[in-house]
Chain A
């Protein structure tokens, strides 16, 4: 598709979340909007959206789920006709659900992602990180995004779902098709259908050959009010696991690697103080929060002076909220022992990222394993780092040498 993008003249009235320099580094743009007289910007691009940038506004929108609904959660409208056809009813519960269904949609998966439940994936995550490092450690150079970060969440998720690891590259391609190449409507539709058809086949296979100990089987056997949950729910959760669990965490790990490559003092701090890790991971999640989620306005309202209409799209820029100086001292600075850190990298309210404990574990283990084996490393050339952005922000290529 040809890029027919016109230059952005005014961030407050014409922002473009897919503009290449904004994708690479969105923080100056967020700051410009946040510190203006109009901290909730608007654009007519991509069928229009609002962009709140202050912590307080982003959190208020996340909390007000009756006004700001989850009928649409992606930063661009869905491809035309997606809600029709055989799989039109398959969404990504509970992220796409509103109350009252949201309650059971979320209740069923929360135990799977509680801290004590995800702890059992720590050793296998460490093993897979070590296996990835084995591949490049003797070369003295690696792409910390494409050779390392990219492979970690997809393998963890495949393991949880109980699907073959050799699907890794295919899954990654589908997820990028849905989340990263949003202008290519046909690719988005094709990627979404491929995900649903793949998991439909997995469900059919489990009906013939029942298995234990994988999430797909557990979901299929789950009952609500004495009835098996509908197939749309099972497929929807599988869709969620891929779309919400892969690109996001991979982006966070990649950003953390990019940061650490440039900050030997932070590597040293972590090496010398084991107790620092929990706070440090929260701080890195605050500064490099990868995800922006959207909401659809339910009814005409005025929010902070903005005339929002029913059906309008609102982008909850958690990365912008997490760098609001009203909430965080020296917000652009990474302070590994930051004491007050009420960050919203995982959102706020009833849609708090269900996989947050797993994401934390993956980010921590990925960084710990790398630093144990490659304590000193640096960027080959900062200018060659490439980024994805819009819905999910993180490096896609990040060459380091050691």
Chain B
């Protein structure tokens, strides 16, 4: 599993970083920053899915 953020949709709610702080952080403006760009370790997959389901802008893409 890989994650990315549609930066055109992200408005910096930071709810991904709250749900999965190992996977998402904040850039200088407070918008989402993906901390793990390669394959996620399996133990973080559930948290990443939770981040996806908590994003008010539906900006998180899981592939």
0/1 string, B29-63, CB within 8 A of A gives 1: 11000000000000000000010011111000000
Cα-based distance from A114 to B12 in the complex (angstroms): 9
Q: Flag whether B2 is at the interface (Cβ < 8 A).
A: no
Inter-chain contact A348/B57, CB cutoff 8 Å: yes
Inter-chain contact B28/A348, CB cutoff 8 Å: no
Q: How many A-B pairs with Cβ below 8 Å?
A: 57
Q: Which residue of B lies closest to A111 (CB)?
A: B28
Inter-chain contact B11/A348, CB cutoff 8 Å: yes
A342 and B11 contact, Cβ closer than 8 Å, known pairs A111-B29, A115-B30, A282-B18? no
Cα-based distance from A339 to B47 in the complex (angstroms): 10
Q: Which residues of A contact B30 (CB under 8 A)?
A: 110-111, 113-115, 117, 357
Inter-chain contact A342/B55, CB cutoff 8 Å: yes
Q: Which residues of A contact B28 (CB under 8 A)?
A: 111, 114
Q: Flag whether A2 is at the interface (Cβ < 8 A).
A: no
Inter-chain contact A342/B29, CB cutoff 8 Å: no
Taking chain B's interface residues, is the majority helix, strand, or loop, or is none over half, making it mixed?
Answer: loop
Q: Which residue of A lies closest to B27 (CB)?
A: A114
Q: Which residues of A contact B53 (CB under 8 A)?
A: 339-340, 342
Q: Flag whether A356 is at the interface (Cβ < 8 A).
A: yes
Q: Which residues of A contact B56 (CB under 8 A)?
A: 59, 342-344, 348, 352
Shortest distance from the beta carbon of A74 to any chain B beta carbon, whole Å: 22
If A349-B57, A352-B56 are given as contacts, then 14 extra A-B residue pairs at C-beta distance below 8 Å, sorted by A number, are: A110-B12, A114-B27, A114-B29, A114-B30, A115-B17, A282-B18, A340-B53, A340-B54, A342-B55, A348-B11, A348-B56, A349-B11, A352-B12, A356-B12
Q: Can you list 14 A-B contacts (CB < 8 A)?
A: A59-B56, A110-B30, A111-B29, A114-B12, A282-B18, A340-B50, A340-B54, A341-B15, A342-B54, A348-B57, A349-B11, A349-B57, A352-B13, A356-B13
